[in-house]
Amino acid sequence: MHAEPSIEIRLLGWSVIVLLAYIVAQAGLAVPERGLSWNAGPRDGWQPPRGVRAGRAERALKNFAETYPAFMALALGLMVAGKAGGSGEIGAWLWLTARVAYLPLYIFGVPWLRSLAYGVSLVGLILMLARLLGA
């Protein structure tokens, strides 16, 4: 009989859906600017997006990619170490919900709230790390 996966592992699964949302937003805003031929081609001679929202979506995706490896490592580490739950679970929820909020806040240029969402995601990672390290 298999044990139920921890909430951190379930949130890891949901985080892939969030990653896909970032990728779709970035591509969906860049392709109209550059065309399908550019998207299907090798993208030689890369240039930054011309549109404001396309540029924001690209930067949001890069920002997501900066913290995503830490989230994955911490979620897996908590499970392997048998430390799922508690502050690690709270941290995982904080990271995921903050990353969901971050994308539209960035694309639509909402100052302060975007920075708050980023900060909350970092607090989530810190909570997960503290749980993993036993603090």
pLDDT for the residue numbered 135: 62
User: What pTM was computed for the model?
Assistant: 0.90
Apex CA 33: angle with CA 38 and CA 55, to 5°?
Answer: 105
Q: Which amino acid is at 12?
A: L
- Centre a 10 Å sphere on the Cβ of residue 68 and count the other Cβ atoms it contains: 17
10-residue stretch averages of pLDDT, the chain, 135 residues long = 83 97 93 76 70 92 97 97 96 98 97 97 98 89
Give dist(CA 80, CA 67) in Å, integer: 20
Domain ranges of the chain: 7-133
What was the pLDDT predicted at 5?
85
CATH number listed for the domain at residues 7-133 = 1.20.120.550
The residue among 98, 89, 79 whose CA lies nearest residue 18 is 98
